[in-house]
């Protein structure tokens, strides 16, 4: 497999897997609480409704990334769209939850920011690498 296609496929599948894991976290308040360092977390129906909407979008993005993998060069534009509105938006929302509202503790979010940064770098590298030759 050509190097530029390999990088695109790695990006699409890494994103799809992480999106699926995020959707599971969103659909399970217990998983959300554990992974975000929350104790005594008892969300109401408003939380469940909002997270259900978010999980639907996350699952949709999972499918979109798998679809992009079927024609990686033609659909590589999905990668920068995933970095800027999606990953950056999530990071901004997490920053607000930590620093703005105090809802989430900082320590469990730092690894998430590291993964998001690595994923964004891999996505952008794959995108620009795929535009080089041929």
Phi first, then psi: what are they for 26, rounded to 5°? -70, -30
Give the number of other Cβ atoms within 10 Å of residue 10's Cβ.
Answer: 15
- pLDDT tens, residue by residue, 75-131: 999 999 999 999 999 999 999 999 999 999 999 999 999 999 999 999 999 999 998
> Which residues, in sequence order, are CB contacts of 85 under 8 Å at separation 6+?
none
d(CA 125, CA 79): 10
Contact (CB, 8 A) for 17 and 122:
no
- What proportion of the chain, given as a percentage, has pLDDT over 90? 96
Residue keyed to tokens 């798998």: 66
Q: What is the pTM for the complete model shown? A: 0.91
Structure tokens given for 63: 């499918």
């Amino acid at each position: 497999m050509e190097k530029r296609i390999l990088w695109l496929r790695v990006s699409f599948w890494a994103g799809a897997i992480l999106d699926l894991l995020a959707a599971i976290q969103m659909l399970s308040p217990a998983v959300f609480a554990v992974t975000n360092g929350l104790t005594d977390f008892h969300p109401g129906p408003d939380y469940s409704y909002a997270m259900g909407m978010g999980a639907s979008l996350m699952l949709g993005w999972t499918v979109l990334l798998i679809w992009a993998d079927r024609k990686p060069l033609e659909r590589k534009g999905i990668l920068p769209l995933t970095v800027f509105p999606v990953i950056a938006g999530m990071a901004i929302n997490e920053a607000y939850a930590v620093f703005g509202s105090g809802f989430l503790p900082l320590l469990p979010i730092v690894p998430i920011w590291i993964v998001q940064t690595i994923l964004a770098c891999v996505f952008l590298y794959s995108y620009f690498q795929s535009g080089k030759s041929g």
